[in-house]
Structure 1
Amino acid sequence: MPKPAHLIASTVFSMTALAGAVQAQQPGGIEDNMPAFQQALKARLTFPMAWSPQVKDLAAWRAAGRAKVWDATLQAPDRTPFAPQVLAEQDRGAYTARDVAFNLTQDSRVRALMLVPKGAGPFPAVLMLHDHGGKFDIGKEKVVAPMGDAARSALSQAWAAKYFGGRHLGDELARRGYVVLAVDALGWGDRGTLTGDTQQALAANSFNLGTSLAGIHALDDVRAAEFLAAQPQVDKRRVAAFGFSMGAYRAWQVAALSDAVTAVVAANWMATTEGLMVAGNNQLKGSSAWHMLHPGLVRYLDYPDVASLAAPKPALFIAGASDPLFPAASAQTAFNKMAQVWKAWQAPERFETRVLPHGHVFPLEAQEGAFEWLDKQFSAGPANSPAGASHGQTR
């Protein structure tokens, strides 16, 4: 028996109203390159593996955090012999520059620049990690002056003038008595070159191959740190990771993941996920973000949580008060969170942060302060090893 017309109309109206309500409650589509339901996704990011006052066993917490990060990198442990070879040397006065080749991983044999002070060692050492900057034709030469290449020398000097007050950070540290190692990240210099557009293809194809671009960087940096610490001229108990911008991200990440690193200086890369997920920020544009995004890791740990896995190693974090890429307020929120972890390790004096009156650059004044800080951390020699730190295998 057919339904009366008024019942049919009522049913249609009810279904239409219900559909409208569902549509209102479940927005779809994309807004500003984000899912329209981004707020619901953000609300689920509770970072359950972050340190909290409920953590009683700090060493176990750190081990679990490291394991989670390594899992997200999609990388397997690598113990390939380094098999180093010196290709060329250059006398630079107080130190010698070397063009060296070694097996970074089982898949990559690379060329690197290594600076070795003259005199009796062993010396403290610094792994210098270069930035992104949207410039791929040089990598290691952004932080160490190149050898015998006029074209790269010009590019290198221009980069130093733009971001570092005309100074090559690695060469200055070598003059101060540090062994310095700089290696190209995949896509830069001798290992490239990328372009702004091809970054996303490289990242996608890394996933197609069962790996991750950010994960490759992480493993490469850990292996570089292990290579540096293994050099006969190096005091393995005094090895720092040092970087600016993406190099700073790499520095605190390798300090968190590797026992070969015993201190870290990171300038102009620290913030919270929430603080970076704002309109116009680089982290939302793809491109450079692919080098720093481990699949699914943000479901467990925020950026400051990962960096806190480096505790209680000496750590200096620097931010620019007018840095447009890493808002100072978000950087300070991250710093406050991290400070609690060093305090929990009973080593608050080993953690220092500075918000300085500059933008996304690392000027001479900030450099001098960072160099002096690092000198102070290593001035006591081997006895300055962080209390409670692990010196076993990286994982």
Structure 2
Amino acid sequence: MKRRSFVSLPALAMLPPTMPGAAPPTGLTETGGSVTASAGAAFSSPAIVDGNLPAFYPALADELTFPLAWTRSRTRSFRTWRRTARAKVEELLCQPDDATRFDPEILDERDGDGYLQRTLSVNLTRHSRVRAAMLVPRGRGPHPAVLLLHDHGSKFDIGKEKLIRPWYDQDRLGSAQAWSDRYFGGRFVGDELARRGYVVLAVDALGWGDRSGLGYEAQQALASNLFHLGSSLAGLTAREDVRMAAFLGTLPYVDRRRIAALGFSMGGYRAWQVAALSDHVAAAASVCWMTTLKAMMVPGNNTLRGQSAYFMLHPGLHRHLDIPDVASIAAPKPMLFFNGELDTLFPVAGVHDAYAKMRAVWRSQRADDRLLPVLWPGLGHVFPPEMQDQAFRWLDRWLRST
């Protein structure tokens, strides 16, 4: 008896009509005048490509036109643009402003090398009271000040101790010195600045040092949990940095007109970000964190691994502004950007493009001399003494001469 093949009526209803004599649709075969689906029909279309990017990521990148950028703005008033751009960034922080009293309390004070070493507790936000490390130069004030912003580095046992020598914690001293040797030529940047006459302040970001407990893989979970709670890890970090800049401005021995922010790597991102968001910050020095969004979101980039990216990710922001556009909200403040030519985290092309975007903004405000973007030949992701010395001289120019 001749075997017959059947296709159910619902299945036939889903098939496109076939003209007489035409080949059946792909994945279907004819058997005895009927049409049947071929088992195991091949279908190859990868949805995810290298670096956990969707296969259509170039199309998504092309859709980003950064309509809120100053160079695309329809308003001729830079102040109006800056106010509008900052408001958009603050909206997307998903973290409300905080007016909690700081209520500082000195916990410990000792003599240092030409300055006082001080630890104090302070209300960072309405939810967190933290221990801060501060160095205060001897002599008559008020002094210029620098808010020090530590890096990420996937090293969570130390935060503020990466920048200020931890006289208060011998258990962390070895770890801090090793970090300083690796990235800063053996120096503690905060101690160097204090010797030059600056008040310096450093606080741990959530997950580091006194606020530790975070692991590398746990960063995504922490970020998602904060999103569920109506907050944001990156937004919280940004608000805390703004708060500490404001705190410096309340101290009688600090000249509130001469407060700068300085940071390396993720701290460099935080430095230009707080300069863009805080009126208390008069200048900033950002080391080893600048590029364009489109240069960053490509296969092979460190950001694509997730984890650390959540400390610098404000959902939806890049529908409005590119990375250098956000930094440009700080214009025409004095701003220094150092990147290493051999830094694999921030390839040269992206750094050049970002620098060009920022130059256009500062130039439009006749403030070319207030922007110092430098690509250092032969250096990678480091902040060695020769870089530090130039950054210190630049800070002196803008903060010690006024």
- Alignment TM-score, normalising by the size of structure 1: 0.90
Aligned 8 A contact 2:193 2:200 in 1: yes
CA spacing shift, 1:8–1:30, aligned 2, 3 Å: farther
Q: 1:192-218 CA deviation, whole Å, 9 max, x = no partner?
A: 121111111101111111111000100
Aligned pair 1:376/2:397, yes or no?
yes
Q: Which amino acid aligns with 1:185?
A: A
Aligned pair 1:45/2:64, yes or no?
yes
Aligned 8 A contact 2:217 2:307 in 1: yes
Q: Which amino acid aligns with 1:40?
A: A
Residue 151 of structure 2: aligned partner: 131
Query: Between Structure 1 and Structure 2, how many residues are aligned?
Result: 368
Instruction: Tell me how far apart the structure 2 counterparts of residues 183 and 8 of structure 1 sit (CA, whole Å).
Output: 77
In structure 2, the residue corresponding to 1:190 is in which secondary structure? helix
1:6 to partner: Cα distance: 6.6
Aligned 8 A contact 1:282 1:288 in 2: no
1:15 to partner: Cα distance: 11
1:235 to partner: Cα distance: 0.4
Which aligned pairs between 1:295-314 and structure 2 lie closer than 5 A?
295-314=315-334
Q: Which amino acid aligns with 2:62?
A: A
Instruction: Tell me how far apart the structure 1 counterparts of residues 125 and 26 of structure 2 sit (CA, whole Å).
Output: 63
Residue 210 of structure 1: aligned partner: 230
Instruction: Tell me how far apart the structure 2 counterparts of residues 308 and 232 of structure 1 sit (CA, whole Å).
Output: 30
Aligned pair 1:141/2:161, yes or no?
yes
Aligned 8 A contact 2:18 2:24 in 1: no
Identity fraction in percent:
54
Instruction: Tell me how far apart the structure 2 counterparts of residues 27 and 294 of structure 1 sit (CA, whole Å).
Output: 31
Residue 347 of structure 1: aligned partner: 367
Residue 363 of structure 1: aligned partner: 384
Q: Which amino acid aligns with 1:275?
A: A
Residue 222 of structure 1: aligned partner: 242
Consecutive unaligned residues of structure 2, counting only runs of 5 or more, are: 1-16, 29-43
Query: Pick from 99, 123, 139: which aligns with 2:119?
Result: 99
Which aligned pairs between 1:245-264 and structure 2 lie closer than 5 A?
245-264=265-284
Larger mean Cα displacement after TM superposition, 236-245 or 53-62: 53-62
Aligned pair 1:233/2:253, yes or no?
yes
Residue 20 of structure 1: aligned partner: none
Instruction: Tell me how far apart the structure 2 counterparts of residues 231 and 327 of structure 1 sit (CA, whole Å).
Output: 40
- Alignment TM-score, normalising by the size of structure 2: 0.89
1:55 to partner: Cα distance: 4.0
Residue 341 of structure 2: aligned partner: 321
Consecutive unaligned residues of structure 1, counting only runs of 5 or more, are: 17-25, 382-395
Query: Pick from 15, 19, 27: which aligns with 1:7?
Result: 19
Q: 1:352-386 CA deviation, whole Å, 9 max, x = no partner?
A: 111112000001100000000110112332xxxxx
Query: Pick from 105, 123, 131: which aligns with 1:85?
Result: 105
Instruction: Tell me how far apart the structure 1 counterparts of residues 297 and 19 of structure 2 sit (CA, whole Å).
Output: 49
Q: Which amino acid aligns with 1:7?
A: M
Q: Which amino acid aligns with 1:240?
A: A
Aligned pair 1:30/2:48, yes or no?
yes
Query: Pick from 67, 88, 99: which aligns with 1:68?
Result: 88
Residue 185 of structure 2: aligned partner: 165
